[in-house]
Structure 1
């Protein structure tokens, strides 16, 4: 900041919060992820209005674009996984049964004349423990949060996201089973937990602790989870003549969870509609990111020199102005929407240069052989999907297949990085089905 250093080497995140107007150059070691990222990063130079220079080093075989696609595919999700998530988000409830006296999966209640009276279910407070959900779906925590946000931001507002909460509660009574029975009589949530677990066959004659999911009990009682937690926490203290003292009850909350409110009476048709919406939104995001990456790579390659020494002494104003025009055109024509419109399907959005000779039979035979070997070696001890195999062959980590473990499997990790991801995904899925 004082000007004593001439060169700083850092990641792209450096400088976002720095107000230094006299940066004279920005040098990119590799390709940026999108036009927006590129403009933001070069925008750190020349804020004082004086001439500055921005350089980008591009890989001659476009391998930097292949590396960046890995980031997009690490966040992608398939339709089957989305269906599993929605089955948990919109778990069936008994609102229609309670309202009509008999079970029905219809969305709306029907009046005496047969007219629709609107949805019966007003929404239930639900919680999905983060750690177990991440492992179950093999999606990172931020990916699941993004999908829940899509459901909330859609016009139908299927989900109302709430602040994350601790979903699990353990209540221990150091006074033994008698103290636990006494708590059940004066604390409704404890009584409901014991009654519910008794229906499941558990006995409490010699039990001095209980463990339960807080939000499930709150939904069963119709209470707010904050109220229930305060009620449970208050059990640890009691007031006396000399102030507050401990009661011998320990209440511990754990398992941070996604917290939201959702209906539980969606019909099969509605569930299909939600699934179509969520899958379409996820595919749209993937296509946009891939297309924007290809568009930026094409724009930079169109004005690039074959070697750095050709532009290291004198700036080529003609090429610079050509790139500036491409940037202006992108933002003036709403480049993101244009990228979607021209992106086609997901496979078509990958650059042609990276796929030059992938479809020949020799390459496909090698790919299929590696996939068969992988399934034969790891198929018994791991729950494999086509996407999981494709990620490993591209060197993409996931919660169930972390890089620090699978990166040691040199035979398969990144073995087909330069093969189009969707080709690997398709072949892996077909072979998993064929080998079952």
Structure 2
């Protein structure tokens, strides 16, 4: 008898005694089994015994027999699993591990790469694991979690992914979740279970993992056997999905702060360059790389050239064999508005479809995913937000409505089809206009050296040079002032913390402006009892009877953490003494060292950020080139899913992931334009009041908004998006020349 996860997070047994001592308590989904192995009680339906009725006695006897059968099966299963775990602890042989696999998961053998990874981890060797989407990477930390004595920490980039992984954790292992988006009471309950040793596998966001209080708790009282970095490509700035918070996950921190014994880094898609960066950061030896083919062989891949009639082309495809017989299909789009538009179009044509994107309420996203998994919805039209952790093996087709942003994105998304091993179909509609639009958007995170210099001057201003003082940078106003996205500012600050020189230390992000209203006791009475309240009165200004103050300023004035100030006002609120409101989300940090030359540092940072920007553009160009090549081999613009296109795309994918990512892939963007400089000149003359940079002008000409030049304002100019087909760098160079000429002309007129 095999007890597996039932898919709702409440398996047959929530906790198994993994420490080798029998007689532990753990709940069962069988109502007839109590929480203790040694004494069971049946809480099923009670039957009222009729007087002189033999049938009533018979029912009770049957009930008793059923109870005994359940007890025997439960006891036998638990004993078998505990014996299997003990056997693996004694000798981690293939035979012992396979027996444990069979008992817990019901499988007779491991998939390619799984057994090797598990044995390396049990041997204490940090490992880099690259397996295709749906190839069972999670099992590679779940089995070690049963064997290893300490906690297994799983660091994951998305809360939705963590929830899904927790839900599908084998029910014999107790799991928990911590993220920055949790309610305080949820986090408190999880921390309590951690301290009591109830939780064996903890899913945690990188932001929460790096929290000072969280790290302190692990240093003092908890043992970490294994740290799992899921979606490990996010560690590398050269990946298709770089996350600044992941950049802080370095081996030195994981080993020194958490005392971790071993690291497992996992991803489904990574180029050679990305793997080298991840393994270097996590100090994983090159000999400890387990890499299997990143693309399964049960796909039929096809591409067709499309344009203004793409929705009609999609409908024709879905009404043609083999797609019309396929029960579950995912259609991927690049923009949220497309998901609603396309799903409605499909419904209007009698195809059961629903749109899915990150802008939908969480409950709606869950409902749509569950309906898709239970085959109540045939087609999900989604952005990249859909599919991570999707537990559905019979997806028969994945259709890309437009070209993906990278080979990694393409491989990851088509990998959600055919997990049951059956032949699956993947079609891509290639549209040159969408490619050019995506190429423009790839430049949206880029920055000029001028803007980086202004940003650094602010970060290291005279006001912040008091070392260990808590400094803050209000995100919304800074974003507009420096014309930088929040993610870009976070990336720069993270680099200043983790680069070759540690210039600052990042603190938890928070809303720094507090408006406080006193209700019961007078402010002075509370100040006499609390140094924090006294500091608040000194640092606040009173506006209409309300005390308004800056939390970092109060914390710095009495040398306490911002969390201490928040805890104090929260405690006062619980007592009914105060109410308060928080606003102005900000990055918080303390300066450790000032740079000798701001100019030199800004030049270095700009070069690094420009390389990241170019990497994004190059990835899109390579994906576009592969799609165009596949179209050319079929020698037709009609819908095609022939063997020639499959071989062409497979070859390109193999070369990309196993060769040089920097291989030449010519852009389809125009490299010059006769009227460009003339139009820039007219644009500058028409907008004399604005302060432009070459990048700002290039963005407007490409139809891309930014914090300082938002779409809502600048899309009204007739130059908006006019030169989307011209290479972004070409426009920047022309804009720089015209800006110099414009300044010179104005200076001449002024004299």
Pairing 1:411-430 to 2, within 5 Å after superposition: 411-430=718-737
Q: How much does 1:189 deviate?
A: 5.5
3-state SS of paired residue (2:417): coil
In the alignment, does 2:409 pair up with 1:37? yes
In structure 2, the residue matched to 1:87 is: 457
Find 1:219's aligned residue among 532, 556, 570: 556
**Using the alignment, how far apart are the partners of 1:379 and 1:251 within structure 2?**
44
Does the aligned pair in 2 maintain the 1:299–1:326 contact within 8 Å? yes
Does the aligned pair in 1 maintain the 2:464–2:471 contact within 8 Å? no
User: Would the alpha carbon gap of residues 236 and 245 (structure 1) be closer, same or farther in structure 2, given more than 3 Å must change?
Assistant: closer
Q: How much does 1:374 deviate?
A: 2.2
1:263-310 deviation per Cα after TM superposition (whole angstroms, max 9, x unaligned): 2x41433x445324422221111111111111222222222134343x
In the alignment, does 2:359 pair up with 1:52? no
**Using the alignment, how far apart are the partners of 1:322 and 1:296 within structure 2?**
12
1:324-364 deviation per Cα after TM superposition (whole angstroms, max 9, x unaligned): 1221221123x5xx32xx57xxxxx8x443225x25xxx2x
User: Would the alpha carbon gap of residues 95 and 353 (structure 1) be closer, same or farther in structure 2, given more than 3 Å must change?
Assistant: closer
In the alignment, does 2:613 pair up with 1:268? no
Find 1:285's aligned residue among 595, 598, 612: 612
Find 2:398's aligned residue among 8, 26, 46: 26
User: Would the alpha carbon gap of residues 185 and 377 (structure 1) be closer, same or farther in structure 2, given more than 3 Å must change?
Assistant: farther
Pairing 1:233-382 to 2, within 5 Å after superposition: 246=577, 251-263=580-592, 265-269=593-597, 271-304=598-631, 305-309=634-638, 312=640, 315-333=641-659, 335=660, 338-339=661-662, 351-355=666-670, 358-359=672-673, 363=674, 366-380=675-689, 382=690
**Using the alignment, how far apart are the partners of 2:400 and 2:572 within structure 1?**
59
In the alignment, does 2:724 pair up with 1:398? no
User: Would the alpha carbon gap of residues 23 and 231 (structure 1) be closer, same or farther in structure 2, given more than 3 Å must change?
Assistant: closer
3-state SS of paired residue (1:405): helix
Does the aligned pair in 1 maintain the 2:629–2:648 contact within 8 Å? no
**Using the alignment, how far apart are the partners of 1:93 and 1:267 within structure 2?**
15
User: Would the alpha carbon gap of residues 184 and 371 (structure 1) be closer, same or farther in structure 2, given more than 3 Å must change?
Assistant: farther
Deviates more, 1:72-81 or 1:47-56: 47-56
In the alignment, does 2:510 pair up with 1:165? yes
3-state SS of paired residue (1:168): strand
**Using the alignment, how far apart are the partners of 1:45 and 1:94 within structure 2?**
53
Find 2:693's aligned residue among 381, 385, 406: 385
Does the aligned pair in 2 maintain the 1:151–1:278 contact within 8 Å? no
**Using the alignment, how far apart are the partners of 2:535 and 2:396 within structure 1?**
68
**Using the alignment, how far apart are the partners of 2:571 and 2:494 within structure 1?**
34
Superposed CA RMSD in Å reads: 3.4
**Using the alignment, how far apart are the partners of 2:442 and 2:695 within structure 1?**
13
User: Would the alpha carbon gap of residues 196 and 43 (structure 1) be closer, same or farther in structure 2, given more than 3 Å must change?
Assistant: closer
Q: How much does 1:29 deviate?
A: 2.0
In structure 1, the residue matched to 2:495 is: 150
In structure 1, the residue matched to 2:306 is: none
Find 1:69's aligned residue among 410, 427, 439: 439
3-state SS of paired residue (1:57): strand
In structure 2, the residue matched to 1:124 is: 469
Query: Where does structure 1 lack aligned partners over 5 or more consecutive residues?
Result: 97-120, 238-243, 344-348
Does the aligned pair in 2 maintain the 1:174–1:208 contact within 8 Å? no
Does the aligned pair in 2 maintain the 1:124–1:219 contact within 8 Å? yes
Does the aligned pair in 1 maintain the 2:698–2:728 contact within 8 Å? yes
Query: Where does structure 2 lack aligned partners over 5 or more consecutive residues?
Result: 1-372, 744-751
User: Would the alpha carbon gap of residues 416 and 45 (structure 1) be closer, same or farther in structure 2, given more than 3 Å must change?
Assistant: same
**Using the alignment, how far apart are the partners of 2:519 and 2:426 within structure 1?**
68
**Using the alignment, how far apart are the partners of 2:576 and 2:400 within structure 1?**
63
User: Would the alpha carbon gap of residues 4 and 252 (structure 1) be closer, same or farther in structure 2, given more than 3 Å must change?
Assistant: closer
| Total equivalences in the alignment | 369
Does the aligned pair in 1 maintain the 2:512–2:582 contact within 8 Å? yes
**Larger relative contact order (C-alpha < 8 A, sep ≥ 6)?**
1
User: Would the alpha carbon gap of residues 220 and 416 (structure 1) be closer, same or farther in structure 2, given more than 3 Å must change?
Assistant: same
Deviates more, 1:224-233 or 1:124-133: 224-233
User: Would the alpha carbon gap of residues 181 and 332 (structure 1) be closer, same or farther in structure 2, given more than 3 Å must change?
Assistant: same
Does the aligned pair in 2 maintain the 1:138–1:398 contact within 8 Å? yes
**Using the alignment, how far apart are the partners of 2:398 and 2:530 within structure 1?**
64
Q: How much does 1:43 deviate?
A: 1.2
Does the aligned pair in 1 maintain the 2:464–2:591 contact within 8 Å? no
Pairing 1:179-190 to 2, within 5 Å after superposition: 188=531
**Using the alignment, how far apart are the partners of 1:226 and 1:298 within structure 2?**
51
**Using the alignment, how far apart are the partners of 1:2 and 1:226 within structure 2?**
44
Q: How much does 1:152 deviate?
A: 3.1
Deviates more, 1:3-12 or 1:65-74: 3-12
**Using the alignment, how far apart are the partners of 1:64 and 1:405 within structure 2?**
23
Does the aligned pair in 1 maintain the 2:465–2:591 contact within 8 Å? no
User: Would the alpha carbon gap of residues 407 and 306 (structure 1) be closer, same or farther in structure 2, given more than 3 Å must change?
Assistant: farther
TM-score where L is the length of structure 2: 0.44
In structure 2, the residue matched to 1:118 is: none
Deviates more, 1:293-302 or 1:146-155: 146-155
User: Would the alpha carbon gap of residues 405 and 276 (structure 1) be closer, same or farther in structure 2, given more than 3 Å must change?
Assistant: closer
**Using the alignment, how far apart are the partners of 1:412 and 1:421 within structure 2?**
15
Q: How much does 1:16 deviate?
A: 3.1
